Amino acid sequence: MHEIILVFTLMSELNSGELIKLKRLIKELKSKEGRGTELISLYIPAGRQIADIMDVLKSEYSQAGNIKDRTTRHHVQESLVSIMQRLKFFNKASENGLVVFAGYIAGNAPGNEKFEIYLIEPPKPISIYLYRCDSHFHTDILEEMLKVGNKYGLVAIDREEASFAILEGSNLEILETITSGIPGKHRAGGQSARRFERVIEILAHEFYKRIGERMVKYYLQDNKVDGIVLGGPGPTKNDFVDGDYIPADLKKLIIGVIDLGYSGEEGIYELLQRGKELLQKVELVKQKEEMDNFLKLLNDDPKKLAIGIKEVINVLNQKNISKLLIVEDSIIKKVEYICQNCNTLNEEIFGNDPLLKVKQNLKCKICGSENIKITSERDITDEIVDKAIELGAEVIYLSKNISESESIRSNFQGIVAILKY
């Protein structure tokens, strides 16, 4: 049985719906296993002439003839033939290149293997050629391309402490919190007070130097960030930025200085919220805003929402959908089954419940009999996303890193929609 899946994505056009589908496809590919080292992963660089690739594959076909195991030899050679047949439709790889995964996927028993082939236009240009024949597909290069390009440094400082963080896409990582060691206000007067102020100035100067050193390490050496947002209570942050504590190439990356009520780790989270306008391109901020909007509607105007799989499918059929919010890794399946009692064909759509649990609870919707036979089960998540996109709805991909996502997953089957009217 041949199963062909064609996925074409361009980074300049990669919307949330396409991102969901591509991530889900990669996850599916990673789960597949071959009977032996017979699953082929082929990465073709951008603009590469297909004729050159065909010559290489013909050579690989000849070498595969030396494989001792007869079944493995047959599977590898047939996979190579199938790949070459598809590549005949291309003169050269697209501007981003081409990725091909092909091979016989192991079944429940020997002889039940199923051939599958996937042609994927990657979201970013491929610069290397790779051919691997293994027991699994090599998806690591494709996975790396899906990482969000925008990476920001967040710094929350005041007189006593400074915290450093990296925000990339929907992932926030607190790197370190350092303390200044600067003592509190001194009440003595006269010469003692002036001497104490000089000590404070020296300690502050040393603290600023340490902050600058950490920023160079975290945002120039260990990471290459696209921008830095700095904040904190009081004048400390401004004194630091105005001083000569970081190199010019780092200072030019500072895209905003924001007044905060807190410093340290708590300041980082406040900075994330108050710096929304600066970080509007970062997916995590957008997702949090969408979640806040959903929760507000849930409280103020729940009639504008469709909650759960059945309600979402209903508004899709009515073409009344403005936004679709779906939690990362959510899977929606349709099970079709025949009642052995009255011969009625039934179907059931479910979300994150285990399939075994669903099967145990299936009953005929006409006569109520539990004597049923499942005829098919399939993943329809992509169909739902595709239909939403086709209707012009915005698809929002909710990361597991957002605390509210788990609530959406557990209470609403991982999917909700906002209606047009």
Tell whether 117 and 34 lie within a shared domain: yes
Tell whether 200 and 327 lie within a shared domain: no
pLDDT at 237: 94
Of the ranges 51-55, 188-192, 331-335, the best mean pLDDT one: 51-55
Q: Does residue 285 belong to any structural domain of this protein?
A: no
pLDDT at 352: 63
Confidence of residue 195 (pLDDT cuts 50, 70, 90): confident
- State the average pLDDT over residues 156-174: 89
Q: How far apart (Å, rounded) are the C-alpha atoms in residues 161 and 254?
A: 19
Tokens for 112, please give them: 């039940």
Tell whether 350 and 258 lie within a shared domain: no
Residue at which a domain ends, from 123, 145, 167:
145
Task: Between 164 and 353, name the one with better pLDDT.
Answer: 164
pLDDT at 298: 93
pLDDT at 355: 56
Q: How many CA atoms lie within 13 A of 152 on its CB side?
A: 28
Q: How far apart (Å, rounded) are the C-alpha atoms in residues 185 and 61?
A: 79
Tell whether 33 and 90 lie within a shared domain: yes
Q: Does residue 284 belong to any structural domain of this protein?
A: no
What are 58-100's pLDDT values in tens digits? 999 999 999 998 989 999 999 999 999 999 888 888 888 899 9
Tell whether 266 and 344 lie within a shared domain: no
Tell whether 8 and 134 lie within a shared domain: yes
Q: Does residue 71 belong to any structural domain of this protein?
A: yes
Tell whether 59 and 155 lie within a shared domain: no
Tell whether 227 and 193 lie within a shared domain: yes
Confidence of residue 8 (pLDDT cuts 50, 70, 90): very low
Confidence of residue 346 (pLDDT cuts 50, 70, 90): very high
Q: How many CA atoms lie within 13 A of 276 on its CB side?
A: 9
pLDDT at 166: 93
Q: How far apart (Å, rounded) are the C-alpha atoms in residues 8 and 165?
A: 35
Task: Between 182 and 262, name the one with better pLDDT.
Answer: 262
Tell whether 107 and 21 lie within a shared domain: yes
* Domain CATH for 362: 3.30.1330.30
How many structural domains compose the chain?
3
Q: How far apart (Å, rounded) are the C-alpha atoms in residues 122 and 25?
A: 12
Asked whether the beta carbons of 30 and 81 are under 8 A apart, the reply is no
Q: How far apart (Å, rounded) are the C-alpha atoms in residues 302 and 307?
A: 9
Nearest to 311 by CA among 299, 327, 324, 329: 324
Task: Between 24 and 161, name the one with better pLDDT.
Answer: 161
Task: Between 232 and 46, name the one with better pLDDT.
Answer: 232
pLDDT at 16: 58
- State the average pLDDT over residues 340-362: 77
CA angle 319, 16, 218 (to 5 degrees): 155
Nearest to 176 by CA among 205, 148, 229, 217: 217
pLDDT at 11: 42
Q: Does residue 180 belong to any structural domain of this protein?
A: yes
Q: Does residue 289 belong to any structural domain of this protein?
A: no
Q: Does residue 252 belong to any structural domain of this protein?
A: yes
Q: Is the dihedral of CA 83, 88, 89, 92 positive or negative?
A: positive
226-to-237, 255, 277, 281 alpha-carbon distances in Å: 20, 9, 15, 11
Statement: residue 117 has pLDDT above 60: yes
Crossing angle, helix 264-274 and helix 283-300, to 10 degrees? 80
* Domain CATH for 209: 3.30.420.60
pLDDT at 171: 74
Contacts of residue 71, Cβ cutoff 8 Å, sequence gap at least 6: 35, 36
Tell whether 125 and 159 lie within a shared domain: no
pLDDT at 12: 42
Q: Does residue 234 belong to any structural domain of this protein?
A: yes
pLDDT at 281: 65
- Strand-pairing partners, residue 154, are 165, 229
pLDDT at 41: 96
**pTM of the predicted protein model:** 0.61
Asked whether the beta carbons of 60 and 80 are under 8 A apart, the reply is yes
Statement: residue 158 has pLDDT above 90: yes
pLDDT at 5: 52
Range of the domain at 392: 299-418
* Domain CATH for 107: 3.30.960.10
Statement: residue 188 has pLDDT above 60: no
Residue at which a domain ends, from 95, 123, 145:
145
What are 379-416's pLDDT values in tens digits? 898 889 889 988 989 888 887 777 778 888 888 888 99
Nearest to 100 by CA among 113, 76, 84: 84
- State the average pLDDT over residues 207-221: 95
Residue at which a domain ends, from 122, 145, 168:
145
Asked whether the beta carbons of 344 and 367 are under 8 A apart, the reply is yes
Tell whether 136 and 157 lie within a shared domain: no
Residue carrying the six token digits 């089954």: 337
Tell whether 22 and 88 lie within a shared domain: yes
pLDDT at 13: 47
Q: How far apart (Å, rounded) are the C-alpha atoms in residues 326 and 398?
A: 6
pLDDT at 285: 79
Q: Does residue 292 belong to any structural domain of this protein?
A: no
What are 124-137's pLDDT values in tens digits? 788 889 999 999 99
